[in-house]
Amino acid sequence: MLRYFTAIFSLVLLCQCGAPQPPQCHSVPRASRVPADTLMAEARRNWNILANPGRSSEWSTASTGYNSAVAKLFDQLRCGQDGWDARAAALGTRIAPQGPNETDPGVLDTVFPATLADVSVVHSRKTTWGIGVPAVGWKQTAPVGGKRAKYLLPNGLPYNITLVLSFEQPGAPVWRFTKRWKLEDIRIGGTTHTLAADWTAANAFYWHMCDLDDLKIQNVILPERYMEETGIYFITPYDPEKIPIVFVHGLVSSPDAFKNMINELVPEPWFRQHYQIWVYNYPTGNPWLFSSMKFREVMHDACSFARSKGHDRNLNRMVIVAHSMGGLLTRSSVVDPGKTLYAANYLVPPDQLKTTPANREFIKKSLLYKPLKEPRRVVFLAVPHRGSPAANMRISTWISRLIRLPKTITVDLLDSTLQAVGDIAQGKDASPHLPTSIDSLSPNYKNNKALDTIPLPGRITFHSIIGDRGKGNTPASSDGVVPYWSSHITPVASELIVPSHHSVQDNPMAATELKRILKLHLNSKN
């Protein structure tokens, strides 16, 4: 736990350096300075071999030759000052218009070969061998804190593209900037070939460009500054034919916490066919009870938007994958609290609280609410269901005092809290200090104790993935932050213990288990 909190004071992490820039090409790389006619002839010759079923024994060599020639031609296409259409025409080619399976490079800020993307932020590079040149497209959006359309990723949109130069039609060869997440194969003549893909490049490049993962520390200390970025982001445009899988991160974190898990899921054809990814982002300095309320609000809005786009059969089969404190947000949002959470905080009924109508409504939304109805399966990852002893450490208490909670909590609720909270009313605590996220992770926090008494709903299937740091001493084990006695919960359909520290979502065994669970979900009646 120390390494998570002491990092808060690292000057390196607090430093905001210049914004990263996508790769640009102003002159053709030396290796690609081959006459275009020569490359075009090589690409066409191999295309014709790939179109001929009778020459299947030559397909492997032809694929390599075709891809190599097209990669060099793409370098010549993307480098220069004129627009895409002009550069394509200079090569004697043209660009396919935007369609359901192709994008127009003219609407993107840049397109570059996937090989240029730095993928060091993830554990391994996932690729698919096939026809075409994997590339990354980038469309800039507003940065963190800027105004943008709802559900749109901050900073920019990464496009997983495979470039194909098609000789299928008469006339000039056609460049196709294929949306690889939508199309698996390509028809060449009378044959079908798998499209090449780099599943890691776009994912890794996004986290190279995005601010969210650079603001984890500030999100804890100054949560109000980043409240505007509390929300759901759609990784791809909403599709009513796919099941949403919602990733909810934990303390001192952002949606980038799931980049390795996503890197393992996206290469799977069954996953791309049946699932779509949503990520929830929120400032993690606020107590989880407040963040839980915001999570429900945002989810209600996102689900209403989804229903406006078509049927909700798959929406109502939603899966939530939640790590650490994100699991408390999730658990509290899918159970029916009844009066349990309210009774843990207040001694008198809501209509007797000495507060404003607006504050009374706020309290009801926080403690007396209806659970989310869409989720049908929840996967808990290293969740402190009963808190973490590390939250009681001296340094944790000190850091907690540095957190500046939003005025929504500190000003609007302080008076009513001092008058009505149970502990204060009983003379147990005369301090006006309201809990931060760190305080709310203590095993002594009354809302943790109250939530633990609320039964899990039978309509939802639950799973747990828990770390034990490789010591294999469960039930006395711990992931270094959350002990097993806190992360263990019943009833669940499965519980897997993996040799891992607290970031179990980075463990390959956890990713394999999530794949198993998601395949099981596809075959379930839920």
Burial (CB count <10 Å: 0-12, 13-18, 19+), residue 412: middle
Residue 196 domain flag: yes
Do 79 and 148 sit in the same domain of this protein?
yes
Residue 7 domain flag: no
Q: Which of 38, 178, 205, 182 is nearest to 102 (CA)?
A: 178
**Beta carbons of 493 and 521 less than 8 angstroms apart:** no
Do 163 and 199 sit in the same domain of this protein?
yes
Distance CA 156, CA 178 (A): 19
Do 244 and 183 sit in the same domain of this protein?
no
Q: What percent of the chain has pLDDT over 90?
A: 72
Which residue's entry shows tokens 């031609």?
73
Q: What pLDDT, on the 0 to 100 scale, is given for residue 396?
A: 60
Q: Provide the CA 127 distance to its chain's centre, in angstroms.
A: 20
- Choosing from 137, 171, 203, the residue where a domain stops is 203
Pairing of β 461-467 and β 494-498: parallel
Residue 3 domain flag: no
Residue 340 domain flag: yes
- 179: which strand partners? 161
Do 312 and 163 sit in the same domain of this protein?
no
Q: What pLDDT, on the 0 to 100 scale, is given for residue 377?
A: 98
Residue 288 domain flag: yes
For residue range 429-447, list pLDDT tens digits in order: 434 457 888 888 999 999 9
- Judged by DSSP in three states, 209 sits in helix
Q: Which residues contact 261 (CB under 8 A, 6 or more apart)?
A: 247, 321, 505, 506, 510, 511, 514
- Choosing from 203, 237, 271, the residue where a domain stops is 203
**Beta carbons of 320 and 333 less than 8 angstroms apart:** no
Q: What pLDDT, on the 0 to 100 scale, is given for residue 353?
A: 84
> Residue 15 above 70 pLDDT?
no
Which domain, by its residues, includes 289? 223-522
**Beta carbons of 526 and 497 less than 8 angstroms apart:** no
Q: Which residues contact 411 (CB under 8 A, 6 or more apart)?
A: none
Do 188 and 228 sit in the same domain of this protein?
no
For residue range 345-400, list pLDDT tens digits in order: 898 898 888 888 888 888 899 999 999 999 999 999 999 999 998 777 766 666 66
Q: Which residues contact 170 (CB under 8 A, 6 or more apart)?
A: none
Do 349 and 424 sit in the same domain of this protein?
yes
Residue 164 domain flag: yes
Do 444 and 379 sit in the same domain of this protein?
yes
Give the orientation angle of helix 288-307 with respect to helix 325-334, to 10 degrees. 60
Do 198 and 295 sit in the same domain of this protein?
no
Distance CA 512, CA 508 (A): 6
Which of 276-285, 300-309, 317-326, 327-336 shows the lowest per-residue confidence on average (mean pLDDT)?
276-285
Residue 71 domain flag: yes
* One-letter amino acid of 413: L
Do 184 and 68 sit in the same domain of this protein?
yes
Residue 115 domain flag: yes
User: Higher model confidence: residue 190 or residue 424?
Assistant: 190
Q: Which of 258, 361, 248 is nearest to 302 (CA)?
A: 248
Do 28 and 167 sit in the same domain of this protein?
yes
The stretch 460-464 carries a mean pLDDT of: 98
Do 338 and 478 sit in the same domain of this protein?
yes
Q: What pLDDT, on the 0 to 100 scale, is given for residue 214?
A: 77
DSSP for 316-335 reads GGEEEEEETHHHHHHHHHHS
Which of 17-21, 74-78, 123-127, 227-231 shows the lowest per-residue confidence on average (mean pLDDT)?
17-21
Q: What pLDDT, on the 0 to 100 scale, is given for residue 25?
A: 87
